Amino acid sequence: MEENLSSHTPLEEVIEEAGEGAAATRLPHSDSAGTTLNRPLITLFIMAATIMQALDSTIANVALPQMQGTLSATQDQMGWVLTSYIIAAAIMIPLTGWLAGRFGRKKVFLISIVGFTLTSALCGVSTSLPEIVLFRFLQGISGAALVPLSQAVLFDINPPENHGRAMAVWGIGVTLGPVLGPMLGGWLTQDYSWRWVFFINVPIGIVAFLGLSATMPETKKMLGRFDFFGFATLSLCIGALQLFLDRGEMNDWFHSNEIIIEAFVACVALYYFLVHSFTSSRPFLSPALFTDRNFVMANIFIFLIGVVLFATLALIPPMLQNQMNYPVIFSGLVTAPRGLGTMFGMVVVGRLIGKIDARVIMATGLALTGFSLWQMTNFDLLMGASPIVVSGLIQGFGVGLVYVPLSTVAFGTLPAALRNEGTAFFNLQRNLGSAIGISVVETLLTRNTQMMHASLAEHITPYNLNSLAVLSSHTDPGTPSGIAALNHMLTNQATMVAYLDDYKLMMVLTLAVIPLLIVLRPPVQAQKEMAVME
C-alpha cells in the first residue's frame, strides 16, 4: 500500500482516513489496466476542483460594484453576470448523469475542469458586459458537473463503511466555498482587481486537471438513448424558474409581464416533463431513483438545507455592511468562523458515522442550527462582532453534522449504476433550495422593511420629534437634511427588524423538519444491505 499523505490539519486528516486501506482496492468499474488506486491523492485533487467551483457561486458577488464601473453597466445589467452563471449551471446539472454514463466519468470530469478554467480566464480578461455574461454562462455550463461527479467518485472509490468519512471531505468543499467566497472576493477586489476573482481559478484548475489525469480511473460507458424531449422540457422549466426567482423581486413579481411569462413557461414545461416521464419507456431521469425511500427523503432534506444555509449566507453580509457599516473584508472575517464550524462538524461526524445512528446525528445538527438561528433573532444594531461569530460557529457545526450523514443515507441503498444520475439530482435539489430560499427571504426582507417603516413612522409626533432628532446626529428636524437623517434612522431600524423576522422564519422551518427524520431507514442497516448486494 502506498503511504498516505502526511498531515496535521483537520481536512488532510479526514482525507487520510477516507483513504485508509484504499490503495489495494479498486473501483467497482476499474480501469482496463487494473491499476491500484491512490485514494488520498484522488480525493485531494477531486476536492480542489470542487472547492474551485463552489467558490465561484459567491466570490463574484462582492466584485460587482467594481465590475460595474469598469464595464460601464447599470446595476440591473450587472445582475446578469450572476444570473447567467446560475441558469447555465442549473440547466446542465441534470445532464451530468447521462454525459458521465455515455462518455465516461473521468473524461467528463476533465473536460469540465478544462472548460471551467478556460472560461474563468476569459471572464478575467473581459472588456464589455456582453463578453463577461457570455463567458459566465459558459463557465456555469462547464462547472455544473464538478460537484455531483465529485460526490459520485468519492462514493465509488470508497467501500460502504468509509462513505461517511468520504462525504465529510466532500461536504467541506461544498459548504466551505460559499462561506469563504465573499471574504476571498473582497480581499482580491480591494487589494488587487476584480479580475483576480476569476484568475484565481486558473492555477487550481491546472493542478486538479494534471492530478486527476494521472490518478483517476475511468468508469465503464453505458450506451443509452438520449431523451431529448425530457431534457429540453426540464431545462426550460429550470431556466424559467431561475429567471423567475432572480428577477421577481426586482420587477415586483406578478405585476410584471416578464415574471408572468416566466412563471407560465416554468409551469407548462414542468407539466410536459412530468407527463413525458410517466409515459415514456426511457425517460430522462430514471424512475428507479424515486423508488428508494431514503433517496427521496434525503432530497427533501437537502432542499431545505439549501434554503436555510444559502439564505442565511445571503442575508448576513449585506446586514453587516449596510446596517452595521462593516467593511467588506471585516464582514468576511466575521462570517468566516461559520466555515470553521462546518469543517469541525464534518471531521467529528466522519468519526461518529457508523457508530451512532445517523438520524440522531442529523437531529442534533438540525437542533443546533435552529438554536443558532434563535440567537440570530436577538441581533441588534449596537452589538459587537462576538454574537455573529458565536452563532456562525454553532450554525456551521450544526450544518456539518447534517450534511455528511444525509449524503451517506441518500446513496447508501442506491445502486452504483444510478449514482451519476442520483448525485446530479441531489445537487440540483440543493441548488433549487438555495435559489428559492434566497428569493423568499429577500422578498420578505423588502416587504417587512416597508411595513415596519410605516409602523415606526406612525409613532413620530410633534411631541417626540425633537428627542428623535437627537438620535439623528443632532440635526434640526425642521430642515430637509434633518428629515432625511430621521428617515435613514427609521429605515435602518425597520430593515434590522425585517432581518430578524427572516431568521425567525428559518428557525421555525429548521425545527419543523426534525420529525421527518423518522421516515428514513436506519442507515447502518441500509449500508449493510447495500454491501451484501455489491
pLDDT at 55: 79
238 touches 89 (CB < 8 A): no
pLDDT at 221: 66
Task: For residue 344, give the C-alpha cell.
Answer: 469541525
Distance from C-alpha of 205 to C-alpha of 56, rounded to nearest angstrom: 13
pLDDT at 27: 47
Reduce the DSSP state of residue 508 to 3 states and report it.
Answer: helix
Cα end-to-end distance, the chain, whole Å: 23
Distance from C-alpha of 155 to C-alpha of 509, rounded to nearest angstrom: 30
pLDDT tens digits for 436-457?
A: 887 888 888 888 888 888 888 7
Strand partners, 356: 353
Question: Closest Cα partner for 499 from 311, 303, 372?
Answer: 311
336 touches 180 (CB < 8 A): yes
498 touches 445 (CB < 8 A): yes
334 touches 326 (CB < 8 A): yes
- Exposure of 255 by Cβ count < 10 A (0-12 exposed, 13-18 middle, 19+ buried)? exposed
pLDDT at 24: 35
Residue found by looking up cell 431514503 in the block: 294
Question: Closest Cα partner for 90 from 222, 220, 258, 239?
Answer: 239
Q: How far is CA 368 from the centre of its chain?
A: 20
% helix, strand, coil for the chain, step of 5: 80, 0, 20
Q: What is the pTM of this model?
A: 0.74
Phi and psi, residue 429, nearest 5°: -65, -40
Q: Which overall architecture, per CATH, does domain 6-221 show?
A: Up-down Bundle (1.20)
pLDDT at 223: 60
136 touches 123 (CB < 8 A): yes
pLDDT at 30: 42
Q: Could you give the dihedral angle defined by the CA atoms of residues 454, 458, 461 and 465, in that order, rounded to the nearest 10 degrees?
A: -40
Instruction: Please list the ranges in the chain whose pLDDT falls under 50.
Output: 1-35, 469-470, 472, 526-534
Q: Which residues contact 349 (CB under 8 A, 6 or more apart)?
A: 164, 168, 361, 365, 400, 401, 404, 405
Question: Closest Cα partner for 160 from 509, 453, 419?
Answer: 419
Distance from C-alpha of 196 to C-alpha of 88, rounded to nearest angstrom: 22
Question: Closest Cα partner for 194 from 130, 253, 271, 124?
Answer: 124
Tell me, which fold does domain 288-534 have in CATH?
Answer: Growth Hormone; Chain: A; (1.20.1250)
Rounded (10°) angle between helices 480-512 and 419-457: 140
Q: What is the DSSP letter of 323?
A: I
- The HSE-up count of residue 350 (CA atoms within 13 Å, CB side) is 25
- Exposure of 370 by Cβ count < 10 A (0-12 exposed, 13-18 middle, 19+ buried)? buried
pLDDT at 75: 63
Distance from C-alpha of 362 to C-alpha of 357, rounded to nearest angstrom: 9
pLDDT at 337: 83
Q: Which residues of 272-295 are buried (b: 16+ CB within 10 A; e: fewer)?
A: bbeebbeeeeebbbbeebeebebb
Task: For residue 517, give the C-alpha cell.
Answer: 427524520
pLDDT at 404: 78
Neighbours of 367 (CB within 10 A): 15
Q: What is the DSSP letter of 255?
A: G
3-state secondary structure 107-135: HHHHHHHHHHHHHHHHHHCCCCHHHHHHH
Task: For residue 467, give the C-alpha cell.
Answer: 428627542
pLDDT at 468: 55
Domain ranges of the chain: 6-221, 228-283, 288-534
Q: Could you give the dihedral angle defined by the CA atoms of residues 520, 526, 527 and 530, in that order, rounded to the nearest 10 degrees?
A: -130
Q: What is the DSSP letter of 9?
A: S
